[in-house]
Amino acid sequence: MHTLLHLRLASSANSHYSLFAMSAASLALPSSLSSLRANGAAPPRCFRLHNPSRSRVFMSVSVGSQAVVDDALFADYKPTSAFLFPGQGAQAVGMGKEAQSVPAAAELYKKANDILGFDLLDVCINGPKEKLDSTVISQPAIYVTSLAAVELLRTRDGGQQIIDSVDVTCGLSLGEYTALAFAGAFSFEEGLKLVKLRGEAMQEAADAAKSAMVSVIGLDSEKVQQLCDAANQEVDEADNVQIANYLCPGNYAVSGGVKGVEAVEAKAKSFKARMTVRLAVAGAFHTSFMDPAVSRLEAALAATQVTSPVQWETTVKTLLTKGLKKSYELGPGK
């Protein structure tokens, strides 16, 4: 049975990479550290907590078309404990069930109902799966459930101490909004309104074109790029594919037109990929297929990361290089 809290601890570099190798297929998309660019690959985005016990951010991250954080400010930064929040694709019917027994977590769903206009917890627990998997539902569902997981953790033995120990938080694409909310950059309600708009805009963009995403397992990024190039030779330009998520060594998500994604799946074995996994998302996220979503979101944000490749692998390597000792992944899951 899927439970509300998905919590894993990694205490060494090797086990930390295992964490992401195991988790990546059920996640979806990540973030960056120093830029809010609308186009091109983005560096990793982490949010440093100045006072973890009060969930305050070290520096504010304003939205705009220019880089707003100087990497030099992080030169002497030594993170020790991280909260990681998942992106779209982590949803599963039954998630959030435990929230009913934790007042602070249940309250988040009640607040969400007022903002969204429907009973989110009911969809999370009872589905149907097709409804929960829709972008317009799954994005707010994962955002709320992930923050509810924090409240559930808070009630467990040692949970508050874990929360207080966290000094950096990261999010995989959609999870970036969750990370910002946890860090105190904006309120739960403000974040949910942005996620609601994001989900609606990305759903509309996905509906406008037949597109998809697939994880390619067992190849390095260079081989995956060669696989994409080979697939693109067999389809029209409108169905071209590209690497959208750099998740971890051996796991890269490819986005593009359905025919292009099918070509990747058909050719993967010949490139010696171990397997491919079609992702439970509505379309080709983090590619030009999402351009309509950018224009829709511009009213709320000056720039957004929905057309740029996701650099999660670099995010993890950056944290490990900086000395990260422990990480906790909170969100829907087993």
Residues 107 and 130 in one domain: yes
Domain assignment of residue 125, yes or no: yes
d(Cα 186, Cα 170) in Å, to the nearest integer?
A: 15
Residues 155 and 200 in one domain: yes
Q: What is the pLDDT of residue 186?
A: 86
Q: What is the pLDDT of residue 279?
A: 84
Q: What is the pLDDT of residue 22?
A: 24
Residues 111 and 227 in one domain: no
Please state, as a whole number, how many other Cβ atoms lie within 10 Å of the Cβ of residue 247.
29
Q: Which residue has the tokens 């351009």?
A: 291
**What is the extent of the structural domain holding 270?**
210-283
Query: Do you find a cis peptide bond into 128, omega within 30 degrees of 0?
Result: yes
Residues 263 and 237 in one domain: yes
Domain assignment of residue 295, yes or no: no
Among the candidates 283, 302, 326, a domain finishes at 283
CATH number at residue 109: 3.40.366.10
Q: What is the pLDDT of residue 118?
A: 96
Task: Specify the higher pLDDT residue, 186 or 148.
Answer: 148
Residue 117 backbone zone (phi > 0: left; psi -120 to 50: alpha; other: beta): left
Q: Read off the pLDDT band of 206 (50, 70, 90).
A: confident
Burial class (CB in 10 A: 0-12, 13-18, 19+), 62: exposed
**Residue 252 forms beta bridges with which residues?**
216, 246
pLDDT tens string 104-142: 999 999 999 999 999 999 999 999 999 999 989 999 999
Residues 192 and 217 in one domain: no
Residues 130 and 107 in one domain: yes
Is the model's pLDDT at 15 over the cut of 80? Answer: no
For CA atoms 137, 139, 140, 142, the dihedral sign is: positive
Q: Read off the pLDDT band of 17 (50, 70, 90).
A: very low
Which has the closest alpha carbon to 284: 140, 171, 135, 139? Answer: 135
Domain assignment of residue 289, yes or no: no
Q: In terms of residues, how long is the chain?
A: 334
Whether this model's pTM surpasses 0.85: no
Q: What is the pLDDT of residue 29?
A: 26
Q: Are 153 and 162 in contact (CB under 8 A)?
A: yes
Mean pLDDT of the chain: 77
Q: Read off the pLDDT band of 43 (50, 70, 90).
A: very low
Contacts of 170 (CB under 8 A, 6+ apart): 30, 31, 44, 45, 46, 47, 82, 83, 84, 85, 176, 179, 315, 319
Residues 201 and 214 in one domain: no
pLDDT tens string 239-281: 999 998 898 899 999 999 999 999 999 999 999 999 999 987 7
Residues 144 and 184 in one domain: yes
Count of the separate structural domains present in the chain:
2
* Percent of the chain topping pLDDT 90: 49
Q: DSSP state, 300?
A: T
Residues 144 and 185 in one domain: yes
Is the model's pLDDT at 283 over the cut of 90? Answer: no
Residues 166 and 221 in one domain: no
Domain assignment of residue 160, yes or no: yes
Residues 140 and 250 in one domain: no
Q: Which residue has the tokens 């009911």?
A: 122
Q: What is the pLDDT of residue 181?
A: 93
Domain assignment of residue 300, yes or no: no
Token representation of residue 27: 């996640």
Residue type, 109: Y
Q: What is the pLDDT of residue 231?
A: 97
Domain assignment of residue 258, yes or no: yes
Q: Which residue has the tokens 């397992």?
A: 217
Give the least confident one: 21-35, 65-79, 96-110. 21-35
Which has the closest alpha carbon to 326: 90, 57, 15, 23? Answer: 15
The vertex-8 CA angle with 31 and 184, nearest 5°, equals 45
Residues 86 and 202 in one domain: yes
DSSP3 helix / strand / coil % (the chain, rounded to 5): 45, 15, 35
* Range of 29-33, 40-44, 166-170 with top mean pLDDT: 166-170
Question: Which residues form the catalytic set?
Answer: 173, 286
The vertex-247 CA angle with 246 and 252, nearest 5°, equals 65
CATH number at residue 230: 3.30.70.250
Burial class (CB in 10 A: 0-12, 13-18, 19+), 165: middle
Give the pLDDT mean for 282-305. Answer: 64
Domain assignment of residue 49, yes or no: no
Token representation of residue 149: 């997981």
Give the pLDDT mean for 209-226. Answer: 92
Domain assignment of residue 68, yes or no: no
Q: What is the pLDDT of residue 25?
A: 26
Which has the closest alpha carbon to 92: 20, 143, 141, 136? Answer: 141
